[in-house]
């Protein structure tokens, strides 16, 4: 668990994810891996044609890494270029990651099969926690300093540990509807609210069993933690 992984495709949505991933890397004092995957989508192609596509992919990855280096305060930024499906590769990278961060292209507009998207697939199958950074439009939105909200009534230990850790790192209150005395002792820097009602959320945290509703409708980034599906 020695780095943060960012899935980056050059879109405005992945720029939102980049901002969040940099925050995580700075707060955790971990390096950031900017990962980009590419593949020829039209069947067989000659090597020259594929070389042009690879060159474009290299440019996308260079742009993301350069943005990260220019805006970070000393975070080590590495790159990962992969030929093949992005979702499966990010799941593979999650095995050695503290966290994977991906952008959302507005999952509320998709059919119910959220797992068909890169973000949904990674959230369901990654071996590390995943943050899906949702945004209301094509431009990054400023994140209000609200609460870290545990968005289920019977969260498992992985969900609670992640939520407490984020609240402590970001110095934000934690809102939940369960008794968290034990976790409060382990995370004295987390300020606990006993109810999630009417608490504006900076981040919502949920387990991997049923994250689909939040991934489609949450008004803020969603963290998915727990055993991989």
Q: What architecture does CATH give domain 4-225?
A: 3-Layer(aba) Sandwich (3.40)
For the entire predicted model, the pTM comes to 0.89
Q: Tell me which H or E stretch contains 18.
A: helix 12-28
Nearest to 98 by CA among 131, 53, 140: 131
DSSP string, 98-152: SEEEEE-S-GGGS-S-GGGSHHHHHHHH-SS-EEEE--SSSS--PPP--EEEE-S
Domain range list for the chain: 4-225
- 175-205: per-residue pLDDT in tens? 887 777 777 788 887 777 765 555 588 999 9
Band of residue 107 on the pLDDT scale cut at 50, 70, 90: very low
Side-chain half-sphere of 106: how many Cα atoms within 13 Å?
A: 8
């Amino acid at each position: 668990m020695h780095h943060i992984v960012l899935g980056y495709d050059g879109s405005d949505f992945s720029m939102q994810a980049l901002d969040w991933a940099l925050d995580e890397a700075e707060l955790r004092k971990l390096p950031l891996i900017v990962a980009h995957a590419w593949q020829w989508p039209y069947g067989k192609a000659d090597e020259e044609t594929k070389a042009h596509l690879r060159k474009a992919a290299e440019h996308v990855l260079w742009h993301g890494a350069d943005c990260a280096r220019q805006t970070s305060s000393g975070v080590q930024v590495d790159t990962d270029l992969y030929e093949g499906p992005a979702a499966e590769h990010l799941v593979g990278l999650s095995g050695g990651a503290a966290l994977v961060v991906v952008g959302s292209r507005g999952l509320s507009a998709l059919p119910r099969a959220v797992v068909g998207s890169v973000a949904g697939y990674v959230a369901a199958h990654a071996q590390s926690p995943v943050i899906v950074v949702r945004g209301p439009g094509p431009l990054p939105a400023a994140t209000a300093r609200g609460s870290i909200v545990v968005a289920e009534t019977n969260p498992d230990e992985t969900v609670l540990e992640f939520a407490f850790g984020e609240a402590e790192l970001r110095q934000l209150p934690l809102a939940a509807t369960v008794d968290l005395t034990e976790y409060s002792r382990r995370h004295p820097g987390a300020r606990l609210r006993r109810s999630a009602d009417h608490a504006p959320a900076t981040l919502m945290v949920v387990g991997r069993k049923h994250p689909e509703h939040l991934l489609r409708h949450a008004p803020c980034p969603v963290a998915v933690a727990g055993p991989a599906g």
